[in-house]
Amino acid sequence: MEVVGRTIGAAVNSVAPVGDLTGDGILEFVVGANEQGPHGGFVMVVDGASGEFIREHIGPPHHQIGWWIVKGIGDYDGDGVPDYCTGSHLSGYLNTDGEVWVWSGRSGDQRRSQEMAPRG
């Protein structure tokens, strides 16, 4: 897959619209990708109008087996710009079944993370 200015040299697992982050009335989308290596994958935010790269989130080091799920979640933090969440089905910790992060659509700052309890 190619994004303007970037090449995603990894397996794309998921793509989802996340709302209009740039304010031009056209939805942006988020791509989740899996790759072998210390971080397990990354998530890239792409401008829906131009196809240009906006930002990326690199997987944390303990997600060595992780791959990514992405979803728009509306305006989680109430700043008027849609936000999005990303998830890993397996965190690499033996005592969790995965982890979900919530990101600000405006700044890309992390708003929340939540580890999933293991299934009984």
Instruction: Rank residues 10 and 54 by Cβ distance to Ca ion and give the closer one.
Output: 54
Sequence-distant (6+) residues with CB within 8 A of 20 are 26, 27, 28, 48, 82
Contact 28, 1 (CB under 8 A): no
| 81 counts as binding Ca ion under rule CB under 5 A | yes
| 26 counts as binding Ca ion under rule CB under 5 A | yes
Of 13-21, 55-63, 64-72, 92-100: span binding Ca ion (CB under 5 A): 13-21
| 30 counts as binding Ca ion under rule CB under 5 A | no
Least Å from the CB of residue 65 to Ca ion? 30
| 99 counts as binding Ca ion under rule CB under 5 A | no
- Half-sphere CA count of 89, side-chain side, radius 13 A: 8
Q: Under the rule (CB under 5 A), what is the footprint of Ca ion? A: 20, 22, 24, 26, 75, 77, 79, 81, 83
